[in-house]
Chain A
């Protein structure tokens, strides 16, 4: 999956300046994840998981509609407390996939992924497991990222609303609100 550079230029310049100031204390060899909360591997696994929840077809799927970005943003802000759940959930998904199919989740065929997730979601044996619970959490968050407001990092270009043929009407007050949204970190 293509990963955009998520730093604005000004922020990047500021970071670069700080890095220089701090000097040698930063190792230059490490690969830094472009995500806020997830590692690159985790983000890739999550992308293929989300893409089974909202698959790609004539309309955008979850991954190309920036659902992973939505989840990543939330995990670094509002849902910080769920970071561990994601970390262990994704690890468990890959472990069990390896146990069952000899491959990581991301390398399974489309059919295998659906079969695996359907079992986790629907089979009685899975109902009380942490993986089942994790999967239901990801379903919820994927729906939020896909159908929710684009200002939270998902639903790229209002893809889901376009899919449902719902125009986005320009209404007085809406743009006023959107302008404020960027610096609306304060909780009312």
Chain B
């Protein structure tokens, strides 16, 4: 059944899609926002230590569900396995599936990438085994939109002491939260070492903002929805704004099957399964894909036709390639005094001294103290030190749970051509749509940088008074996870990228990819603010072009 034509369909109501829907709807386009998950309220979150987006052993409350959403993972020796969202978050490469996407349950760090992060190839040259390249846009192109994201979604923090930050025109709209105990221990230590510590910018209210209250500083933060709605995501900012324009319709529980094209190679609509699993078709003028790096690639690859036998945008086999996330690295330190004060969100202080310019190394990453942790999340930290069960384990927990600090950070990864998302030829999901097939590994450079950063983390912890420290290093398995990016690269050359700098698919004029898929490199930071800024930028261009041509 064909529904009434709309101007734009935005597929995926996460960090990118939410913003695009709002920007288009406010510009007067009629928008259908399709989301495969549900619209959760803050009260749906049960603050369950075993069922959240970080510890999902009993399921991922913000989706996707195990029953309908398998994926296939191919490991290094080539063995393939079906994995479910709750099996292992790292293997499945999960991000949330709900209105707001990952922004409902994230830790909410709000980083601007640095200037070099957009010019990685120019800064470091070519790296063997990597498709490292520059972005087709610069930091300056994105700066006004970073500012827009910070003010419209709402960021607290203070990065004025970060001498490495890229220039900003306007300060953050909210002051940082008052320091927690880890902050007061780590800050003077960093200063003694000559580092430049500062308050982490976060998409979190420290004062009343956007009609919502400030953070109440509870223990259940990253991985959970905020009970008082103090965490700012697209679900409590731009998506409601999109809906009140009257131009945007949000449909939840709708799984998009494919993007339809005509004989001229233009996108004409989307086919999706509604909440009753009935196949619907929607005719449109433009299609915006914002499903996250795994699912965006999957949707393009599944949209095959005689003109596009390998999927949309995939003429040169670049869709799904260069899957990146972050190789998290750092160290755990034990103290002979209590450092745990039970005040969330925990993560409070960061340094950017090692994002770039590390001698003999390509790239680097930010280091920050880790989010407040629940007991179940501390289990396993003891592995390098003592037996992780029995009396030793129990003594370790009692002695060190409140006397340990973890300093942690994301390594900017080298894109690898063979780290990729494909669609599986055999395995299908609940709706009969071929699922993601993930294969490849991290670049060895990521591990080298991780080793270097972990020594810096140990140095910082020791200076702060840790009596024992040990590194926490990533392995070489395929990256992705919540910070998934890179699978529909943005670039000027259609032979080595999927979308142009306006996020428009090279082959198809009225098809756009607007999420982290387009990131050429993923920065040494949590990527969400960059996704948001780029969504504002791409929407801005899209609206301007729409007013001129309507893409017809």
A161 adjacent to B394 (CB under 8 Å): no
CB distance from A97 to the nearest CB of B (A): 17
Q: Which of B43, B44, B218, B401 contacts A164 (CB 8 A)?
A: B401
- Chain B 63-77 interface mask (CB, 8 Å, partner A; 1/0): 101110000000000
B59 adjacent to A187 (CB under 8 Å): yes
A171 adjacent to B46 (CB under 8 Å): no
Does B375 lie at the interface of the complex (its beta carbon under 8 Å from any beta carbon of A)?
yes
Segment at the interface with B among A8-16, A32-40, A86-94, A178-186: A178-186
Segment at the interface with A among B236-244, B382-390, B417-425: B382-390
**CB-CB under 8 A for A172 and B228, given A143-B379, A147-B375:** yes
In Å, the complex CA distance between A142 and B390 comes to 11
- Chain B 350-374 interface mask (CB, 8 Å, partner A; 1/0): 0000000000000000000000001
A55 adjacent to B67 (CB under 8 Å): no
A171 adjacent to B398 (CB under 8 Å): no
- Chain A 113-152 interface mask (CB, 8 Å, partner B; 1/0): 0100110011000000000000000011011100111011
Interface residues of A in 57-95 (CB under 8 A from B): 57, 59, 74, 78
In Å, the complex CA distance between A143 and B380 comes to 9
In Å, the complex CA distance between A165 and B49 comes to 17
- Chain A 152-181 interface mask (CB, 8 Å, partner B; 1/0): 100000001101111101011110111011
Does B216 lie at the interface of the complex (its beta carbon under 8 Å from any beta carbon of A)?
yes
Which residues does chain B contribute within 8 Å of A121, judged by CB atoms?
A: 387, 389
In Å, the complex CA distance between A176 and B45 comes to 10
Does A18 lie at the interface of the complex (its beta carbon under 8 Å from any beta carbon of B)?
no
Which residues does chain A contribute within 8 Å of B216, judged by CB atoms?
A: 171
In Å, the complex CA distance between A126 and B316 comes to 48
How many B residues are at the interface, by size bracket?
35 or more
Which residues does chain B contribute within 8 Å of A172, judged by CB atoms?
A: 227-228
A177 adjacent to B45 (CB under 8 Å): yes
In Å, the complex CA distance between A52 and B390 comes to 6
B67 adjacent to A144 (CB under 8 Å): no
Q: Which of A59, A163, A169, A180 contacts B46 (CB 8 A)?
A: A180
A169 adjacent to B375 (CB under 8 Å): no
In Å, the complex CA distance between A67 and B228 comes to 32
Which residues does chain B contribute within 8 Å of A184, judged by CB atoms?
A: 46
**CB-CB under 8 A for A147 and B376, given A54-B393, A169-B218:** yes
Closest to A139 in B: B389
The A/B interface has a contact count, at CB < 8 Å, of: 107
A178 adjacent to B376 (CB under 8 Å): no
Does B304 lie at the interface of the complex (its beta carbon under 8 Å from any beta carbon of A)?
no
In Å, the complex CA distance between A69 and B304 comes to 50
CB distance from A135 to the nearest CB of B (A): 9
A164 adjacent to B375 (CB under 8 Å): yes
Does A109 lie at the interface of the complex (its beta carbon under 8 Å from any beta carbon of B)?
no
B50 adjacent to A166 (CB under 8 Å): no
CB distance from A152 to the nearest CB of B (A): 6
B59 adjacent to A78 (CB under 8 Å): yes
Does A47 lie at the interface of the complex (its beta carbon under 8 Å from any beta carbon of B)?
no
Which residues does chain A contribute within 8 Å of B390, judged by CB atoms?
A: 52-53, 55, 114, 117
Interface residues of B in 44-64 (CB under 8 A from A): 44-51, 57-59, 61-63
B401 adjacent to A187 (CB under 8 Å): no
A164 adjacent to B48 (CB under 8 Å): no
Among B46, B48, B227, B342, residue most surrounded by chain A Cβ atoms (within 10 Å)? B46
A148 adjacent to B394 (CB under 8 Å): no
Does A188 lie at the interface of the complex (its beta carbon under 8 Å from any beta carbon of B)?
yes
Q: Which of B46, B57, B374 contacts A177 (CB 8 A)?
A: B46
A188 adjacent to B376 (CB under 8 Å): no
Among B38, B42, B375, B401, residue most surrounded by chain A Cβ atoms (within 10 Å)? B375
Which residues does chain B contribute within 8 Å of A173, judged by CB atoms?
A: 42-43, 45, 47, 227-228
In Å, the complex CA distance between A140 and B401 comes to 18
CB distance from A89 to the nearest CB of B (A): 16
Closest to A169 in B: B218
B50 adjacent to A144 (CB under 8 Å): yes
Does B391 lie at the interface of the complex (its beta carbon under 8 Å from any beta carbon of A)?
yes
**CB-CB under 8 A for A59 and B394, given A78-B59, A188-B44:** yes
Does B397 lie at the interface of the complex (its beta carbon under 8 Å from any beta carbon of A)?
yes
CB distance from A26 to the nearest CB of B (A): 33
CB distance from A175 to the nearest CB of B (A): 10
Closest to A55 in B: B391
B227 adjacent to A174 (CB under 8 Å): yes
Does B131 lie at the interface of the complex (its beta carbon under 8 Å from any beta carbon of A)?
no
A166 adjacent to B391 (CB under 8 Å): no
Which residues does chain A contribute within 8 Å of B196, judged by CB atoms?
A: none
B50 adjacent to A161 (CB under 8 Å): no
In Å, the complex CA distance between A175 and B66 comes to 27
Closest to B45 in A: A177
B376 adjacent to A52 (CB under 8 Å): no
In Å, the complex CA distance between A181 and B216 comes to 23
A181 adjacent to B61 (CB under 8 Å): no
Closest to A163 in B: B398
A187 adjacent to B66 (CB under 8 Å): yes
Which residues does chain A contribute within 8 Å of B63, judged by CB atoms?
A: 188
B218 adjacent to A54 (CB under 8 Å): no
In Å, the complex CA distance between A139 and B392 comes to 14
Does B40 lie at the interface of the complex (its beta carbon under 8 Å from any beta carbon of A)?
yes
**CB-CB under 8 A for A164 and B402, given A139-B388, A171-B227:** yes
In Å, the complex CA distance between A160 and B62 comes to 27
Closest to B228 in A: A172
A188 adjacent to B227 (CB under 8 Å): no
Which residues does chain B contribute within 8 Å of A140, judged by CB atoms?
A: 57
A52 adjacent to B379 (CB under 8 Å): no
CB distance from B236 to the nearest CB of A (A): 15
In Å, the complex CA distance between A121 and B389 comes to 10
In Å, the complex CA distance between A152 and B393 comes to 22
A188 adjacent to B38 (CB under 8 Å): yes
CB distance from A186 to the nearest CB of B (A): 10
B227 adjacent to A52 (CB under 8 Å): no
Closest to A187 in B: B65
CB distance from A174 to the nearest CB of B (A): 6
A144 adjacent to B376 (CB under 8 Å): yes
Closest to B58 in A: A78
Which residues does chain B contribute within 8 Å of A74, judged by CB atoms?
A: 58
A-B contact pairs, 21 of them (CB 8 A): A54-B389, A55-B394, A139-B389, A142-B389, A143-B379, A143-B380, A144-B57, A144-B376, A147-B49, A149-B46, A149-B49, A166-B342, A166-B375, A171-B47, A171-B218, A172-B228, A173-B42, A176-B43, A177-B47, A181-B46, A184-B46
- What 5 new A-B contacts, CB under 8 Å, besides A117-B389, A166-B375, A173-B45? A55-B391, A152-B48, A172-B228, A176-B43, A187-B65
**Closest 10 A/B residue pairs (Cβ):** A173-B227, A177-B46, A148-B50, A147-B375, A147-B376, A53-B389, A143-B379, A149-B49, A187-B65, A164-B401
